[in-house]
Amino acid sequence: MKLLIDKSRDLQGKITIHGCKNSILPIMAASLLTKKEVVLLDIPHISDVEVMIKIMTALGSKIKREGRVLIINNENINPGKIASADMSKIRGSSLILGPLLARVKFAKMVFPGGCKIGKRPIDLHLDGVRKLGAKVDIEGELITVKGNLKPCTLRLDFPSVGATENLMMAAVFTAGYTKIENAAREPEIYDLGKFLNQTGARVFGHGTDTIIIEGVKTVYGGVYTPMPDRIEAGTYMIGVAGCGGDVLFENVNPRHLNPLTFKLRQMGINVTPYYNAVRIKSKGSFSGSNIICMPHPGFPTDLQAPMCSLFAIAGGESLVTDKVFSSRFVHTKELNKMGANIKLSGNTARIKGVEELTGGEVEAADLRGGGALMLAGMFASGHTVISGVKYINRGYGDYVEKLRGVGVKIKAAY
Ligand code: EPZ
């Protein structure tokens, strides 16, 4: 499948945002903590969720999808049965470590996959579970973790999102108080803590840099709606900014998008937040700016690539620095093929805005880079053909329908 996109201007209407990929994956993993049924609502049709379903099904989970509803039953699980091929496809597979260790004191996994955006080790995850008392054996790609956990104070060298999530879940049944210092503060962490507490866990400070987990004997099931996807929303908001138009984004927590809102306003784009929506109005002309991607509440690295597309047609020069991932600029090569003027130096991209990009044949190499190329195709004159669409399908649900709904000239070609 390829994407065919033509220049799109003056987008009008509304886009409804659905559940957040990077909140759903840890919450699906957290459901392994309980034998009771867990129902998750507003789950988008994205391939990372389908892969996570296969990974958990291999472990013995019974998972039914009914539209945007996931019904999960983890009554009987076998932690030794791993779907290694699937686990090496997504980063989210690493998140089964914590809940399995907590529930059955044993977990087996292979090194996770995920977008090729730099080194993606899991040393912080493994160091953390070792500190909690687990024994970690690594043989080639296979990792086995086992042991009884004891409460302690952990400190992360880097506020890793995944390591924070794994260690939160690992400590849920550990009697006493486990503390995680220098924890990640992303909204998805807060959402995981909220889900865990709804099932009966006792997690405090989630969303801040210090999280305390008080061990409980058991947790239960329930119905939960994960937070809306701030990166899906942000990607399309940047698209409206670049094309021009007036679009309302429904089911968005505007506070999750403060770094982007601040930046777009600085560039001259009109952003109006509502209680659970955001409206973008743009005349399609704007100045450049600078972003430094940092752990939350810094500018999100997942919007770095889409912002490169916007800066490519902004007035003046923009600097983009990514302090989270060591090499997350593969998309700039494709943008330059479309006439952008982007020069890389280490983890910084220097972008001189051009009058207009020119459509062409480009290839997505990762999820958010694919999002950036979709936006560039919307901004560029002439036709753009995007291959590597499987990457886009990982994290943007029903994107052709959503974008066509506001006037984007986009279609899938088989
Ligand atoms: C999560 O990845 C997200 N993925 C990423 O979204 C997101 O970009 C990232 O957090 C940062 O916000 C999911 O939630 C499934 P990290 P994660 O651990 O947990 C280094 C997307 O496009 N690190 O915070 O892997 C790591 O190399 C994806 O939706 C270690 O060195 O991110 C990176 O440089 C892409 N050792 C930095 O920390 C470790 O043990 C941030 O990684 C773990 C991480």
Residue type, 329: F
**For a pocket test of ligand 1, which of 95, 160, 164 has the largest count of ligand atoms closer than 8 A to its C-beta?**
160
- Token pair 């996770």 is found at 112
Which atom of ligand 1 is closest in space to residue 301's alpha carbon? 8
Residue type, 213: I
Question: What is the structure's pLDDT at 96?
Answer: 96
Backbone angles phi and psi of 325, in degrees to 5: -115, 140
Question: What is the structure's pLDDT at 14?
Answer: 98
Each residue's pLDDT, cut to its tens digit, for the chain (414 residues) gives 999 999 999 999 999 999 999 999 999 999 999 999 999 999 999 999 999 999 999 999 999 999 999 999 999 999 988 888 888 888 888 999 999 999 999 999 988 887 787 777 899 999 999 999 999 999 988 999 999 999 999 999 999 999 999 999 999 999 999 999 999 999 999 999 999 999 999 999 999 999 999 999 999 999 999 999 999 999 999 999 999 999 999 999 999 999 999 999 999 999 999 999 999 999 989 999 999 999 999 999 999 999 999 999 999 999 999 999 988 999 999 999 999 999 999 999 999 999 999 999 999 999 999 999 999 999 999 999 999 999 999 999 999 999 999 999 999 998
Q: In angstroms, rounded to a whole number, what is the distance separating the alpha carbons of residues 304 and 307?
A: 5
Q: Is 401 in the pocket of ligand 1 (CB under 6 A)?
A: no
DSSP calls for 50-62 = HHHHHHHHHTT-E
Question: What is the structure's pLDDT at 88?
Answer: 84
Residue type, 238: I
Tokens describing residue 213 = 């987990």
Instruction: Give the residue from 4, 48, 3, 6 showing the smallest Cα distance to 389.
Output: 3
Residues 6+ apart with CB under 8 A from 230: 20, 187, 252, 253, 256, 257, 300
Which atom of ligand 1 is closest in space to residue 90's alpha carbon? 15
Q: Is 158 in the pocket of ligand 1 (CB under 6 A)?
A: yes
Tokens describing residue 80 = 């030794």
Question: What is the structure's pLDDT at 333?
Answer: 98
- The alpha carbon of 117 and the centre of ligand 1 are apart by a number of angstroms equal to 10
Which residue's CA is the closest to the ligand 1 atom numbered 39? 122
Q: Is 116 in the pocket of ligand 1 (CB under 6 A)?
A: no
358 forms bridges with which residues in the sheet?
Answer: 381
Residue 282's alpha-carbon distances to 209, 272, 349, in angstroms, are: 36, 11, 25
Q: Is 118 in the pocket of ligand 1 (CB under 6 A)?
A: yes
Q: Is 24 in the pocket of ligand 1 (CB under 6 A)?
A: no
CB atoms within 10 A of CB 62: 14
Residues 6+ apart with CB under 8 A from 401: none
Given 20, 115, 243, 308, the catalytic residue: 115
Tokens describing residue 170 = 């690992």
Q: In angstroms, rounded to a whole number, what is the distance separating the alpha carbons of residues 326 and 178?
A: 31
Q: Is 187 in the pocket of ligand 1 (CB under 6 A)?
A: no
Give yes or no: 115 in active site. yes
Q: pTM of the prediction?
A: 0.97
Query: How do beta strands 69-73 and 62-66 pair?
Result: antiparallel
Query: How do beta strands 348-352 and 317-322 pair?
Result: antiparallel
Q: In angstroms, rounded to a whole number, what is the distance separating the alpha carbons of residues 165 and 252?
A: 23
